[in-house]
Amino acid sequence: MTIRILTGITTTGTPHLGNYAGAIRPAIVASRDADVDSFYFLADYHALIKCDDPARIQRSRLEIAATWLACGLDTDKATFYRQSDIPEIPELTWLLTCVAAKGLLNRAHAYKASVDKNVENGEDPDAGVTMGLYSYPVLMAADILMFNAHKVPVGRDQIQHVEMARDIGQRFNHLFGAGRELFTLPEAVIEEEVATLPGLDGRKMSKSYDNTIPLFGSAKQLKDAIARIVTDSRAPGEPKDPDSSHLYTLYQAFSTPAQLAAFRAELLDGLAWGEAKQRLFQLLDNELGEARERYHALIERPADLEDILLAGAAKARKTATPFLNELREAVGLRSFRSNVQSADTGKKKAAKSARFVSFREDDGSFRFRLLAADGEQLLLSRTFADGKSSGLVTKRLQDGSVLDIRAEGTSYGLWLDGEVVGQGGEFADSEARDAAVQRLREALAPQE
């Protein structure tokens, strides 16, 4: 079974070495697994909640996109896109907002922390709280549920948001699923083994502590940053304690076992801290040098980055667009042509009847689906130039004429006037295909 993993990257800063070791590198490695379908996106809508500096957000989007690509993300394997390039996301956010309980959002950690701080300072509890901050968990739920992610790697501070996405998705399924699981309920993945790197002062590497090591600065900037790492006062020749040295911890995150063993032995033998820092610089420069060159080449060609991200968005929308149409259908935002009508009474068929769902593709063409009562897709049409042409075909399929259904390997096609107008999905074998053909015939059979 293929597992879908989804990760969002907030676009409010420049990636540093800690981001690379703790998130970027392991995510890219995971995306190469043949059994994993990876979705990575720039969470630029989320950035608007935290940052009101347009130049910073724009620059951060550019730098983060270039970083992931320079570090080896294969966009043929993974789906890499900007959140703001998927218009289905804000629409789904509204659908989910309409089922999300206010009490649930009241318990969100970020909102509660803001309220507590205001109360502590004697201010109005909601002073400075925007609806963006308050409803942030719903937007995150839309990011996850839109693509039916199975697993969402997060830090411990984000576990609650994944749990809230589960709650909201479950509520939506209950209200509108009609017995189906429209949304896959996601699982938060806490990656205990992912490195948390110390910064220059030994605390966790973080922009808020101003103790970071640049990821793709020049070699000189990298060397200068490493030179500022705080060490103890032991002189050259005195044995150093690797286990209490955050310089050693940094080396450990990027070295092979053999390199680490040799470095440890040198520290115990009295290697000078200056020499140790030179060893770390050389290790990091070897690891990052080629990626640094790719990064700067990408930064200088923003139009190429734009093309890559738009291609990723188009790829993502092949999933998002039809799924949102299905969700719109589920909540009642349906085309007036979507109900199968009885020819002689004009009344809706019984609940067991199938229904047609029309939708429009990105290029302006029209298609329709034939869905069974349980939501199973029985037929997906070819594209039509306009809605009228699509509607005429659905009308003909309901007029009781003999159906021309032809097996095509483990799938089937439905033909009209010498051309295929729709196809079924791929089935495990011919027996499953034939059973689906029978369901299709029953769905389109005239009602008594």
What is the DSSP secondary-structure string of 373-426?
Answer: TTS-EEEEE--BSSHHHHHHHHHHHTS-PPPEEEEETTEEEEEETTEEEEE---
Are 384 and 314 within one domain?
no
Query: How far, in Å, CA of 278 to CA of 224, rounded?
Result: 10
Residue 155 assigned as binding residue: yes
Q: Is 404 annotated as a binding residue?
A: no
What band does 263 get if pLDDT is binned at 50, 70 and 90?
A: very high
Q: Which residues pair with 360 in a beta bridge?
A: 366
387 annotated as a binding-site residue: no
Task: Please tell me the predicted confidence (pLDDT) of residue 239.
Answer: 95
Q: Greater confidence, 120 or 371?
A: 120
What's the alpha-carbon Rg for the chain, to the nearest Å?
28
Instruction: Please indicate, yes or no, if residue 104 is contained in any of the structural domains.
Output: yes
410 is in an annotated binding site: no
Give the chain's mean pLDDT. Answer: 90
Residue 99 maps to a domain: yes
pLDDT band at 447 (very low <50, low <70, confident <90, very high): low
Same domain, 33 and 131: yes
**Residues 400 and 279 grouped into a single domain:** no
- Establish whether 256 is an annotated binding residue: no
Residues 6+ apart with CB under 8 A from 370: 354, 355, 356, 357, 377, 378, 379, 397, 422, 440, 443, 444
Report residue 386 as tokens: 């306009």
pLDDT band at 353 (very low <50, low <70, confident <90, very high): low
What pLDDT score was predicted for residue 190? 81
Residues 381 and 273 in one domain: no
Distance, in Å, from the CA atom of 140 to the CA atom of 42, rounded to the nearest integer, reads 12
Q: Assess whether pLDDT exceeds 80 at residue 296.
A: yes
- In the structure, what pLDDT confidence band is assigned to residue 176 with cuts at 50, 70 and 90? very high
CATH number of the domain to which 215 belongs: 1.10.240.10
SS3 at position 36? strand
Domain contains 348: no
Mean pLDDT of 419-429: 88
So what's the pLDDT on residue 284?
Answer: 95
Domain annotation covers residue 294:
no
Instruction: Please check the confidence at residue 192 and state whether its pLDDT lies above 70.
Output: no
Region label for 341, one of left (φ > 0), alpha (ψ between -120 and 50) or beta (otherwise): beta
> Do 269 and 372 belong to one domain?
no
Q: Quick one: tokens of 170? A: 């479950």
Average pLDDT in the 160-168 region? 95
The residue among 21, 24, 19 whose CA lies nearest residue 7 is 24
Would you say residue 369 lies in a domain?
yes
Residue 10 assigned ligand-binding role: yes
pLDDT at residue 422, rounded to an integer: 93
Find out whether 11 is annotated in a ligand binding site: yes
If asked whether residues 43 and 156 sit together in one domain, one would say yes
What b/e string do you get for 50-80 counting C-beta neighbours within 10 Å, with b at 16 or more? ebeeeeebeebbbbbbbbbbbbebebeebbb
Q: Is residue 246 located within the same domain as residue 162?
A: no
106 lies in a domain? yes
3-state secondary structure of 180: coil
Tell which phi-psi region holds residue 36, choosing left (phi > 0), alpha (psi between -120 and 50) or beta. beta
- Give residue 240's pLDDT: 94
Mean predicted confidence (pLDDT) in 422-435: 86
Residue 131 annotated as binding?
Answer: no
Q: How confident is the model at residue 348 (pLDDT cuts 50, 70, 90)?
A: very low
Q: What proportion of the chain, given as a percentage, has pLDDT over 70?
A: 94
Rounded to whole angstroms, the maximal C-alpha distance in the chain is 99
Q: How do residues 20-68 score in pLDDT, each as one tens digit?
A: 988 899 899 989 999 999 999 999 999 999 899 999 999 999 999 999 9
CA dihedral (12, 16, 18, 23) positive or negative? positive
Question: What are the CA-CA distances from residue 109 to residues 104, 119, 149 (Å)?
Answer: 11, 15, 23
Question: What percent of the chain has pLDDT above 90?
Answer: 68
Find the mean pLDDT for residues 369-391.
85
**Confidence band for 201, pLDDT divided at 50, 70 and 90:** very high
**pLDDT tens-place string over residues 297-319:** 999 999 999 999 999 999 999 99
Report the CATH number that the domain containing residue 359 is assigned in CATH.
2.30.29.80
> Would the pLDDT of 350 be above 60?
no
Gap between the Cα atoms of 265 and 260, Å rounded: 9
Residues 8 and 119 in one domain: yes
14 and 102 share one domain: yes
Cα→Cα distances 326→121, 334, 445, Å: 47, 9, 23
Confidence of residue 146 (pLDDT cuts 50, 70, 90): very high
CATH of the domain at 153: 3.40.50.620
Alpha-carbon gap, residue 112 to 345, rounded angstroms: 57
Q: What pLDDT sits at residue 352?
A: 47
Containing structural domain, residue 231: 207-289
Out of 42-51, 106-115, 293-302, 371-380, pick the least confident. Answer: 371-380
Q: Give yes or no for residue 184 having a pLDDT over 60.
A: yes
Annotated binding-site residue? 19: yes
Domain count, the chain: 3
Predicted local confidence at residue 319, as pLDDT: 95
Pair 217, 270 in one domain: yes
In a domain? residue 389:
yes
Ranges 75-89, 180-194, 219-233: which has the least confidence: 180-194
pLDDT of residue 427: 82
Q: Does the annotation list 339 as a binding residue? A: no
Query: Phi-psi region for residue 122, left (φ > 0), alpha (ψ -120 to 50) or beta?
Result: left
pLDDT beyond 60 at 135: yes
Task: Verify that 14 and 103 share a domain, yes or no.
Answer: yes
- Residue 193: pLDDT above 70? no
Note whether 153 and 39 are same-domain residues: yes
Q: Phi/psi at 415 (nearest 5 deg)?
A: -110, 145
350 lies in some domain:
no
Q: 79-82 and 377-381 as β-strands: parallel, antiparallel, unpaired? A: unpaired
Token couple for 222: 């990298």
pLDDT of residue 249: 93
